[in-house]
Structure 1
Amino acid sequence: MTVKSTLTKRYQNILRRTIQHYIATAEPVGSETLVQEYNLSVSSATIRKALGKLERAGFLYQPHTSAGRIPSDCGYRIYVDDLITPDNYIRQKIEKYLNEKLQKKIFNCEMLLQRSTQILANFSGYIALITLPQSSLNRLRHLQLIPASLNQVILIIVTDSYQTQSILIDVPKAILIEELNDENLLAQELQVISNFLNSHLRNKSLLDLVALNWRSLDKKLIHYADFFKTLLQQISNHLKSSISTPIIIRGFSEVLHQPEFSQLKQVQTLLYLLEEQQDQLLPLIFEVPKVKSLTTQRVTIRIGSENPLESMHPCTLISAVYKQKDVPVGSVGVIGPTRMVYENTIPLVESTADYLSEVLS
């Protein structure tokens, strides 16, 4: 059930104007302010009644008894999902700027992402984050199977960046045939399998591995199909984790101008999140939205307490994935106070992600 089915158009408009005014001023909003600043065509008493109802519904709250109202996280959620239209002008503006400033020059991938992050920070006025492409682009250089015992083998994986990892794997019963109950024979058979796998998997990326079907193997190797499936899963897991995925961060100084971060403790908390908790922050940025609305279906928006990290509760995180050939490989994000200009920030994040998808594909 959306707010449009529970609130009249008048109440929707009062909620919209209250949140817009608070975003613009960072000051609690009272009925007199709404009467003076906006042509709502209703009396101050009617607005007071509406503000009271919106507070009881959980969309607004009073920081102090005598103060006006400010939006709750729930209020911002309703505002984002039902009461705004992203600004197409700002979308066109950053699209033009990205094409003019970046496309005419030759950059390596990391430089492209660094420049894009800085542009996003400048346009939004918040902290911009872009992850480097994840390990779906990492390729397998070599693998080797070595017997550890009659029941286990060691899988050694080497990637194109020469990162190496050893994984201990149980040997399936299907290949523990009688003639292999000898370590020398097992070693010889594993070498044959290693040669076969290298011939089929060398230079394959994680994206390529996902599409492989071991059920169409030669009859001589068909009884290894389940074993190959296990190996493939181990290799895929390794390629996912073998590359660290640092987050490029720009615009920290921009967000310090926001009153929400005027106190040293708040700044320190945010700085610690960005510097020391990137491993916890990354899954929040690189995530497909679970719930989609008409206005935010291409982005993930986590508002305040919707963020699982307590240090993120004063903030909103808006993110969108960028792709290579329709496969998500990284993410573009913005962190700012919950009192964020959502109409501008949503299209800025979307457009930057679209630009990177186009360039990288």
Structure 2
Amino acid sequence: LLYQPHISAGRVPSDSGYRIYVDRLMTPSETVAAEVEEVLQKQLNWSEGRLEAVLRGAAQVLSALSGYITLITMPQTATARLLHLQLVQIEPGKVMPIVVTNTYQIQSVLMDLTAATSPQDGKGQKSDLPKNPEDIDGELQILSNFLSRKLRGRSLSEISSLDWSELDREFKNYADSIKNLLAELTRRSQMPEYTRILISGLAEVLRLPEFSELQQLQTIIHLLEEEQEQLWPLIFEAPESQSNKRVKVRIGSENPLEPIRSCTLVSATYGPNSLPMGSVGLLGPTRMIYENSIALVEAAADYLSGAIGGV
């Protein structure tokens, strides 16, 4: 549980020693958890509606309170929930659906509605006479209202699997086009697989002796800035792979990435209704103050979950 880094050094806890402390002896600080929640509520402005700015602010708060590097992943679009859908006619036969989600993200795609906007004659066959653009605008507004009411609160992944045969009869001409449209939006929302990670706190860790070696610091910075796709799976775990513990702690050699094998990574996911949408993490030395770091991460994840869920 203790080891001697070099001959002239004293004994310090090993990774396994820290693991026993975290799992069996440590209790997250309730005082720190209350403090971070209070600071986040005071300093973050959700009314501006810019999610990235809010998350960057949260990252700065955590790095200032902990003294470690803060990592916050942007939300995954596939798990975002639809707030509003508006169909806008760009030109005859061309419509752009605009989807607004609860993460303040906007998805849009240009679609062809030529077949759907050709009127039918008395025999139920397509007529060669085009619809009046104003008539189409009116139908699209009615359809937008109908779809927003039907789809509000659903994730894009849920929407793609809906039974569109349930669409009201007056919208039967649009059903196939809308189904294809939402399938395309869902496909786009799932790419890329990894969302961007917002970083804060590099200046704070420069004061720590573990980060005084230039070469080690350069490899960590390269990982954080250029190889985020490798780091992303460590701080965000899909629902089916999550353990029973809310906060994940990877200590030293438990980290599979070489640049951070001398560090500890503390992380937790955030999202409404226990649906992981993004993640919060702290990266620091293995001798970090675990009771504070775990409390900080968990409190921040809880705060973001509640704030996004209340949008």
Measured against the shorter chain, the TM-score band is 0.5 to 0.7
1:281 to 228, 231, 248: 231
The code of the aligned residue for 1:344 comes to: N
Partner of 1:317: 265
Preserved contact between residue 206 and residue 239 of structure 1 (Cα < 8 Å): no
Q: Tell me the TM-score normalized by structure 1.
A: 0.58
Q: Which moved more, 1:312-321 or 1:243-252?
A: 243-252
Counterpart-to-counterpart distance in 1, 2:98 and 2:258: 37
- What is the DSSP-based 3-state SS (H/G/I as helix, E as strand, rest coil) of the residue aligned with 1:74? helix
Partner of 1:78: 20
Preserved contact between residue 194 and residue 232 of structure 2 (Cα < 8 Å): no
1:125 is aligned to 2:67: yes
Residues 247-272 of structure 1: CA deviation (Å, up to 9, x unaligned)? 11111010111111111101101110
The code of the aligned residue for 1:257 comes to: R
The code of the aligned residue for 1:337 comes to: P
Preserved contact between residue 303 and residue 338 of structure 1 (Cα < 8 Å): yes
Partner of 1:239: 189
The code of the aligned residue for 2:203 comes to: S
Q: Which moved more, 1:130-139 or 1:305-314?
A: 130-139
1:340 is aligned to 2:283: no
Q: Which has the higher helix share?
A: 1
Deviation at 1:275, TM superposition (A): 0.7
The code of the aligned residue for 1:137 comes to: A
Residues 87-138 of structure 1: CA deviation (Å, up to 9, x unaligned)? 1111111111112222586452222111111000000000011112211228
- Sort the Cα spacing of 1:291 and 1:321 in 2 relative to 1 into closer, same or farther, 3 A: closer
Preserved contact between residue 72 and residue 198 of structure 2 (Cα < 8 Å): yes
Task: Write the mapping of 1:1-361 to structure 2, written as runs, cut at 5 A.
Answer: 59-65=1-7, 67-102=9-44, 106=48, 108-135=50-77, 136-137=79-80, 160=99, 161=106, 207-210=155-158, 236-241=186-191, 245-287=195-237, 290-292=242-244, 297-361=245-309
Counterpart-to-counterpart distance in 2, 1:64 and 1:244: 40
Counterpart-to-counterpart distance in 2, 1:117 and 1:123: 10
Aligned residues: 250
The code of the aligned residue for 1:81 comes to: D
Preserved contact between residue 252 and residue 261 of structure 2 (Cα < 8 Å): yes
Deviation at 1:243, TM superposition (A): 8.2
- What is the DSSP-based 3-state SS (H/G/I as helix, E as strand, rest coil) of the residue aligned with 1:128? strand
Q: Which has the larger radius of gyration?
A: 1
Deviation at 1:322, TM superposition (A): 1.0
- Sort the Cα spacing of 1:232 and 1:359 in 2 relative to 1 into closer, same or farther, 3 A: closer
Residues 248-304 of structure 1: CA deviation (Å, up to 9, x unaligned)? 111101011111111110110111011101111111111267544xxxx21111111
The code of the aligned residue for 2:204 comes to: E
- Sort the Cα spacing of 1:272 and 1:69 in 2 relative to 1 into closer, same or farther, 3 A: same
- What is the DSSP-based 3-state SS (H/G/I as helix, E as strand, rest coil) of the residue aligned with 2:190? helix
Query: Identity over aligned residues, as a percent?
Result: 45
Preserved contact between residue 261 and residue 267 of structure 1 (Cα < 8 Å): yes
Q: Which runs of 5+ in 1 are unaligned?
A: 1-58, 143-156, 166-197, 219-228
Deviation at 1:86, TM superposition (A): 1.0
Counterpart-to-counterpart distance in 2, 1:237 and 1:105: 30
- Sort the Cα spacing of 1:159 and 1:274 in 2 relative to 1 into closer, same or farther, 3 A: farther
Preserved contact between residue 59 and residue 199 of structure 2 (Cα < 8 Å): yes
Residues 289-322 of structure 1: CA deviation (Å, up to 9, x unaligned)? 7544xxxx21111111211211110111111111
- Sort the Cα spacing of 1:99 and 1:306 in 2 relative to 1 into closer, same or farther, 3 A: same
Counterpart-to-counterpart distance in 2, 1:111 and 1:162: 19
Deviation at 1:201, TM superposition (A): 8.2
Partner of 2:113: none
- What is the DSSP-based 3-state SS (H/G/I as helix, E as strand, rest coil) of the residue aligned with 1:90? helix
Residues 55-77 of structure 1: CA deviation (Å, up to 9, x unaligned)? xxxx2222234643222211111
The code of the aligned residue for 1:320 comes to: A
Higher relative contact order (CA 8 A, sep 6+): 2
Deviation at 1:352, TM superposition (A): 0.8
Q: Which runs of 5+ in 2 are unaligned?
A: 88-95, 100-105, 111-142, 167-178
The code of the aligned residue for 1:259 comes to: P
Preserved contact between residue 90 and residue 348 of structure 1 (Cα < 8 Å): yes
